[in-house]
Each structure stands twice: as C-alpha cells, then as structure tokens.
Amino acid sequence: MIKSRLLAARSDLTDLSSAKRILLIIGGGIAAYKCLDLIRRLRERGHIVRVVMTKAAQQFVTPLSVAALTNERVFTDLFDLDDEREIGHIRLSRDTDLIVVAPATADLLARMAGGHADNLATAILLATDKPVLVAPAMNPRMWLNPATRRNVEQLKRDGIDFVGPAIGEMAERGEAGLGRLVEVPDLLAAIESRFSSASDDKPLAGCRVIVTSGPTHEPIDPVRYIANRSSGKQGHELAAAAARLGADVTLVSGPVSIGEPAGVRIVRVSTAEEMLAAVKHALPADIAIFAAAVADWRMATPNTSKIKKSTSDAPPALTLAENPDILKTIAQLRKGRPPLVVGFAAETNDVIAHAKKKLKSKGADWIVANDVSSPIGVMGGERNAIHLLTSAGVESWPEMSKAEVAIRIVTRAAAHLATLKRDAAE
Ligand code: C5P
C-alpha cells in the first residue's frame, strides 16, 4: 500500500518536469560554480538551457565549460555583431519560458532595480516579458544593507520572484549569515515549481490560506526567552508555494532569520498568544497549515526586569503555564473552521503512532509527520522526509527538499479543496 503510494508520489515529481526553455543569467560571485551542476540537472530533466554570463561571472567559471554543459553557445557581450545578426538580446529575452538569475550579486540587483541596460544581462532583464526568478548570493552585510533591502523590495513589487538567500558560511573566512546561494536542489525545485504555476493553472486562485511558521519566543525576563530550534524554512516554503498556486496567503511567522517569501502577507509575532491572535484575525480561510513549532509553555508571569545571577542564591525556579494550542483551537472551531486544517508533528520516535494520535486529539484533517532526530537534520536543515496522515491512511514520501515538500503538500491541498467544494455543490 505504502509502496504503491510512494511510486505515485515519484511520478508526480516527474510530471512537473516537462521540457522548458530556461535562460540562465550567471552573475559574478564565488557561487557561480554551482550553476554548472544546475545546468547539468536541468538538462537531465529535459530542459533546454541557454546561458548569458556577465563579465564578472567569467572570472569564476569559463564560458567554455558552460558551453560544454549546455551544448549551446554562451552569450556574453551586448555588442557582439554576430549575436545581433543571429539572435539579439530582445529575442534572447523572449525565446524562453523563464529567466533565472544566479548568483544575483548586490550590484546586479541594484542594476535591475534601477532599470539599467548597460550589458547583455541587464538589457535582457529590462526587455523581457517573461517571468524572472532571482537567486541572490552576497556577503550577509551587503544583503542586510538598506540599499539592497530597498532594491529587493522594489524588484518584488515589480513582480520578480526570489529564492533564498540561504543561511550559512561565506567564502570569506569567519563570515556567516544570510547570503549564501540556495543549494542546487532547492534552486531546481524553485524553477520547476514556477513551471507548475507559470501556466494559467492557479488552482488556489480565490482561496485564502493561513500558514504559521518558525518558533515562538516566550519571555522569561526582558533579555531571556524559551524557544526551540525551528528555522521556519518549511513553513515559509509552504506559504510561498500556496502563493504561487494563486492563493491569498497570510504567513504568521515567529522570529526567524530567513528571507521572506514573495507574494504573501507576513504578520510577525513573537509569542504563542500573539500567534493565536494573528491567526484568528486572519480568518476566514479555506486552508490553515500549522507548521510553526510553538513553545508548549510560557512563563506563568514573566519577570519585568532581568533576573540577576547571584552566587549565594539557588538558581531561580521557573513557573510555567501551558500555551494555547493554536492548531487545536482552530481545528475545533464550531463556526468559521477552515475546511482543510493541516498540522505538523515533529517526533523523535514512533513517528507514525504519535502522529495518528495527534490527528485525532487535535481534530486536524491532515498531519504532516517527520522524524526530527533523522540524520538529514530536519530542524534548521534544507531537506525533509515526511509521512502524510489523512483519513485515508498514511503515505511515506521519499526524502526531498523542503521546497519540494511544500509544493506537493499545497498541490494536494488544492486538489482536496476542489473535491470538498464539488461534494458540497452536489
Ligand atoms: O503537540 P505538538 O506540539 O506536537 O503539535 C504539533 C502541531 O500543533 C503543529 O502543527 C504545531 O504548529 C501545532 N501547535 C500549535 N500550538 C501549540 C502547539 C502546537 O498550533 N501550542
């Protein structure tokens, strides 16, 4: 039973990969080498990849190696007469299904936001009428600089999609933070998910979706708090995927340090009580997905001033109170319950047994269960292996990126909602 479902799940993935024309603009960053692997994987899936390299990109990878992988000539110069005769920048910008910019440097983002057209890459980006997906990569300080923030906001308003950046070590020794190019499997998933929704197929158009994501911080005193290791990656990917399928999405996020998904309304909260209030405020909804790792307890009475450490006193005893269960509260609403309520279950043992109990006790329609003790490092990591529990049984999905998990859960949710609506109409 599980095996046949696994096979069905794998064939869904292949369905997303019908051949497309991708114009990859490689920017000048140390992460440019990752594009070689990206090109190889895109071509393995049958896509046609054309590449434009900026001058700076050619300092990191050679046009020769890119040409060998794409089996096509690589475009580098706006004023190459041969190019203008054979295929000008206008045609390059239009004869494609998607333009991908990776790695997008701070400078390239600034030029895009400013509407520059002083080289082949920027001229194409200004001339195109095709969707553009940008994967930034830069030093974390450059990413957080107000100038880059402004440029990113402007580009998002202009309809440009972003994937990443990711958190991690930088090429510069001792530097770490938000600014790494996302890993190739996630870039691949982001590209393919654009194709699944780049058509007119927006199965969640007109639907409202609420997603909770990240941890909550429960203050002990003004400087300390109770929290957990949730990064918010899975929740944010779910919100992004729902938006790509056309939904009106409210993402209620606890404190996270990852990039914001495009096209969603973000409500930032800190505590579980704030999260519950924000979710209630965002109702009504057609689908509610509770991916946040809400702290189970908060301080019964948080200290209003910093608890002082003193060598003579015993360590302070913290008196805790239980937090509201947001999933349970919404799943058990008598009035205004979303037709599809999805919860998550992070477990370290007997995953399916615990998740089955949770499905019942919380009153959710689906539970997405995962083993957070797994060696793939689910908490904070890029990949996930989940079991989907519904009233029909348990499906165990193969390990995949969190972006792929998200697009598949949301696609399933859209199909389920359509069935519910059809049944109600009959
Ligand atoms: O009970 P447990 O924390 O394992 O349940 C996990 C599920 O319940 C997740 O979907 C989580 O978002 C949700 N939850 C919640 N409010 C809480 C605790 C958990 O919404 N206080």
pLDDT tens digits along 85-132: 555 777 888 889 999 999 999 999 999 999 999 899 999 999 999 999
Instruction: Indicate if 260 and 171 belong to the same structural domain.
Output: no
Q: Are residues 60 and 173 in the same domain?
A: yes
Domain assignment present for 67:
yes
The strand pairing partners of 290, in sequence order, are: 212, 343
Handedness of CA 76, 78, 81, 84 (dihedral sign): positive
Q: Are residues 102 and 226 in the same domain?
A: no
Same-domain pairing of 21 and 105: yes
Are residues 288 and 412 part of one domain? yes
Whether residues 71 and 188 fall in one domain: yes
For residue 388, the enclosing domain spans 208-305+317-425
Q: Residue 329 CA: which ligand 1 atom is closest?
A: 20
Element (H, E) at 99: strand 98-104
Could you give the CA distance from residue 220 to residue 301 in angstroms, rounded to a whole number? 8
The answer to whether 378 and 386 have CB atoms below 8 angstroms apart is no
Q: Rounded to an integer, what distance in angstroms lies between the CA atom of residue 12 and that of residue 324? A: 37
Q: Express each pLDDT in 128-155 by its tens digit.
A: 999 999 999 999 999 999 999 999 999 9
What spacing in Å lies between the alpha carbon of 269 and ligand 1's midpoint? 16
Instruction: Please choose, from the candidates 258, 263, 25, 241, the residue with its C-alpha nearest in 3D space to the C-alpha of residue 157.
Output: 263
| Residues 268, 180 share a domain | no
The DSSP-derived string for 155-224 is: HHHTT-EE--PEEEE-SSTT-EEEEEPPPHHHHHHHHHHHHHHHSS--TTTT-EEEEEESB--EESSSS-
Catalytic residue ranges = 228
Calculate how far, in angstroms, residue 358's C-alpha sits from the geometric centre of ligand 1.
9
The two beta strands, 218-219 and 225-226, are antiparallel
pLDDT of residue 82: 56
CATH number, domain with residue 357: 3.40.50.10300
Q: Which of 288, 326, 396, 394 is nearest to 9 (CA)?
A: 396
The verdict on residue 27 lying in a domain is yes
| End-to-end C-alpha distance for the chain, whole angstroms | 30
- CATH number, domain of 110, equals 3.40.50.1950
In a domain, 321, yes or no: yes
The number of distinct structural domains making up the chain is 2
Atom 2 (ligand 1): residue with closest C-alpha? 345
Instruction: Record the pTM.
Output: 0.62
Q: Output the pLDDT for position 239.
A: 96
261 within some domain: yes
The set of residues, in sequence order, having a beta carbon less than 8 Å from that of 124 and lying 6+ positions away, is 23, 25, 52, 89, 92, 93, 99
Structure tokens at 10: 């794998």
CB 295 within 8 A of CB 230: no
Say if 164 falls within a structural domain.
yes
Residue ending a domain, choose from 145, 172, 198? 198
Site residues for ligand 1, CB cut-off 6 Å:
212, 272, 290, 292, 294, 323-327, 343-345, 358
My answer on whether 149 and 46 are in the same domain is yes
- Of all protein residues, whose CA lies closest to atom 9 belonging to ligand 1? 344
Q: Which of 166, 198, 230 lies at the terminal end of a domain, its last residue?
A: 198
Residues 267 and 181 placed together within one structural domain of the fold: no
Intervals of the chain under pLDDT 70: 1-18, 78-87, 172-173, 196-201, 374, 376-378, 380
* Whether 34 and 150 share a structural domain: yes
pLDDT of residue 7: 37
Protein residue closest via CA to atom 17 of ligand 1: 325
> Following DSSP, what letter does each residue of 392-426 receive, concatenated?
TEEEEPPPEEHHHHHHHHHHHHHHHHHHHHHHHH-
- Judge if 191 and 330 occupy the same domain: no
Crossing angle, helix 402-425 and helix 184-198, to 10 degrees?
30
In a domain, 11, yes or no: no
Residue 8 domain-assigned (yes or no): no
Of all protein residues, the one whose alpha carbon is nearest to atom 5 of ligand 1 is: 345
Could you tell me if residue 290 is inside a domain? yes
Q: Give residue 169 CA to ligand 1 midpoint distance, Å.
A: 31
Task: Find, among 78, 65, 2, the residue nearest to 33 by Cα.
Answer: 65
Q: Which of 165, 198, 231 is the last residue of a domain?
A: 198
Tens of pLDDT, residues 11-55: 333 344 367 899 999 999 999 999 999 999 999 888 899 999 999
22 beta partners: 49, 98
Which atom of ligand 1 lies closest to the CA of 354?
Answer: 4
The amino acid at 348: T
Q: In terms of domains, do 146 and 218 share one? A: no
The Cα 211–Cα 235 span in angstroms is 7
Which ligand 1 atom is at minimum distance from the Cα of 324? 21
Laid out side by side, the sheet with 21-26 consists of 48-53, 21-26, 98-104, 132-136, 161-162
